[in-house]
């Protein structure tokens, strides 16, 4: 498996010229910060920066995304939706789709590797560019900027961050500048160190989820309630986004392999539960509740729920889903699904709980429902409540 996090040979960085004695300076900027890429990571990042009192340019190169956000259709609920509503009516928060506007922001936060090229093309001296969450800073920012004659640490500041706690820049000053802007508490010596630290946090979540799933399997085989065991131990899966670990690490490799097999196991368990009620999975009405990676986040890209739904369809089931944070998903074959707004009216013969979103109303579930709970967090008088 390869990804933007997988190391590989890179071209040599053009030789940096000597930094001038004066600090990096630039033009007067209209915005304190720009966030490019308004997906499930970028939009909350932009709103968080705006909430800190800064002037924000929220930019996505897809005009349809910008139009949807202007009409408050960003897949957000609760407090996040209220913050978007407040920001959309404030002149300090500007939504745009023209990447040339990035040149007017003192700091550019790049929320996805695919947005880095636009940031590099628009960059001007005096800016701070921070790659957030994913990607390799050297490949995406340092080398391309230097090729444009903008030398990191001299003409522009460059850093990587998880967007919150961790920051590492190409120079000590870059690290300090990024950490100050983000309020990061962990200042690392390089972008590469910050990238690996961020990956480590994600890998720890993956290992925890795999461990919890393995304990659940053992408890189930022993005739015990996995949810009871995991709650008492304080070890429950919290969801883990797709991860390509770039270094030798047998434990992490085993955990990731276990997680890769999990969707198939869930489909098999669903078939077994239905068979216990004298129902064939072929033709059964199955509702999947929650399809995003983690509770409270709108990202369903490559979520295990996608593979689970596809597996259920391949087995002949009639599948629907309910998730207010993901109003639309596309399966690998191109089939599009929309979240149902009245799950209680579907008459599902099996309800599969994948992600319980904050504030999600599950009050319609009762002891008449056959429930497969893959979160191990759902209480209630349900039949067969856990995986």
Cβ partners under 8 Å of residue 333, min gap 6: 310
Geometric angle at alpha carbon 333, from 262 and 61, rounded to 5°: 100
* pLDDT tens digits, 320-357: 999 988 888 989 888 999 999 899 888 899 999 999 98
Domains and CATH numbers, the chain: 31-189 (3.40.50.720), 199-373 (3.40.50.720)
Q: For 214, which DSSP code?
A: H
The whole model's pTM is what? 0.71
pLDDT of residue 76: 62
Give 3-state DSSP helix, strand, coil % of the chain, rounded to 5.
Answer: 40, 15, 45
68 burial via Cβ count (<10 Å: 0-12, 13-18, 19+): middle
Question: How far is Cα 2 from Cα 184, in angstroms, rounded to an integer?
Answer: 29
Crossing angle between the packed helical segments 304-314 and 250-276, to the nearest 10 degrees: 40
User: Is residue 137 within 8 Å of 7, Cβ to Cβ?
Assistant: no
Question: How far is Cα 329 from Cα 211, in angstroms, rounded to an integer?
Answer: 28
How does DSSP assign 34-98, residue by residue?
Answer: EEE--STTHHHHHHHHHHTT--EEEE-S-HHHHHHHHTT-SS--HHHHHHHHHHHT-TTEEEE--
Average pLDDT per 10 consecutive residues for the chain, totaling 387 residues: 41 39 58 93 91 94 90 68 84 95 97 94 97 93 96 96 94 96 95 93 80 79 81 63 63 77 91 91 95 83 90 96 90 89 91 90 82 80 53
And the tokens for 77? 């609920």
Average pLDDT, the chain: 84
Chain centroid to CA 71: 23
- Percentage of the chain surpassing pLDDT 90? 50
Q: Write b or e for each residue in 339-348: b if 16 or more Cβ atoms lie within 10 A of its Cβ, otherwise e.
A: beeebbeeeb
pLDDT of residue 131: 97
CA dist list (Å): 91 to 42, 54, 369: 19, 11, 49
Contacts of 11-18 spanning 24+ positions with Cβ under 8 A: 11/143, 13/138, 13/142, 13/143, 13/146, 14/143, 14/146, 14/147, 14/151, 16/146, 16/151, 16/152, 16/153, 16/154, 17/151, 17/154, 18/154
pLDDT of residue 235: 61
């Amino acid at each position: 498996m390869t990804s933007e996090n997988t190391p590989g040979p890179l071209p040599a960085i053009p030789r940096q010229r000597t930094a001038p004695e004066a600090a990096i300076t630039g033009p007067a900027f209209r915005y304190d910060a720009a966030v490019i890429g308004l997906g499930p990571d970028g939009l909350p990042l932009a709103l968080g920066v705006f909430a800190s009192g800064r002037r924000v340019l929220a930019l996505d190169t897809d005009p349809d995304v910008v139009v949807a956000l202007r009409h408050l259709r960003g897949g957000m609920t609760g407090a996040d939706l209220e913050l978007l509503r407040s920001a959309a009516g404030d002149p300090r928060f500007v939504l745009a789709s023209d990447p040339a506007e990035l040149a007017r922001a003192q700091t550019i936060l790049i929320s996805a590797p695919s947005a880095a090229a636009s940031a590099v093309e628009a960059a001007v001296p005096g800016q701070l560019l921070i790659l957030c969450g994913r990607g390799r800073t050297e490949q995406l920012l340092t080398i391309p900027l230097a090729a444009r004659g903008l030398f990191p640490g001299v003409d522009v500041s460059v850093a990587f961050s998880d967007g919150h706690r961790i920051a590492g820049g190409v120079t000590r000053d870059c690290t300090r500048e990024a950490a100050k802007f983000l309020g990061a508490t962990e200042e690392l010596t390089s972008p590469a160190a910050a990238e690996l630290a961020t990956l480590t946090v994600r890998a720890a979540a993956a290992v925890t989820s795999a461990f919890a799933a393995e304990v659940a399997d053992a408890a189930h085989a022993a005739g015990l309630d996995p949810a009871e065991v995991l709650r008492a131990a304080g070890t429950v899966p919290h969801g883990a986004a797709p991860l390509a670990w770039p270094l030798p690490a047998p434990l992490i490799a085993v955990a990731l392999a276990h997680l890769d097999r999990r969707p198939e196991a869930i489909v098999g368990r669903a078939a077994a539960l239905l068979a216990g009620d004298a129902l064939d999975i072929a033709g059964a009405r199955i509702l999947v509740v929650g399809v995003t990676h983690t509770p409270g986040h709108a990202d369903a890209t490559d979520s295990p729920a996608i593979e689970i739904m596809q597996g259920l369809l391949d087995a002949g089931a009639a599948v629907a889903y309910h998730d207010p944070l993901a109003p639309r998903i596309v399966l690998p074959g191109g089939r599009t699904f929309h979240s149902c707004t009245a799950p209680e009216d579907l008459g599902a013969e099996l309800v599969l709980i994948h992600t319980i979103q904050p504030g999600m109303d599950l009050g319609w579930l009762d002891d008449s429902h056959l429930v497969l709970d893959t979160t191990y967090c759902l209480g209630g008088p349900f039949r067969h409540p856990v995986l």
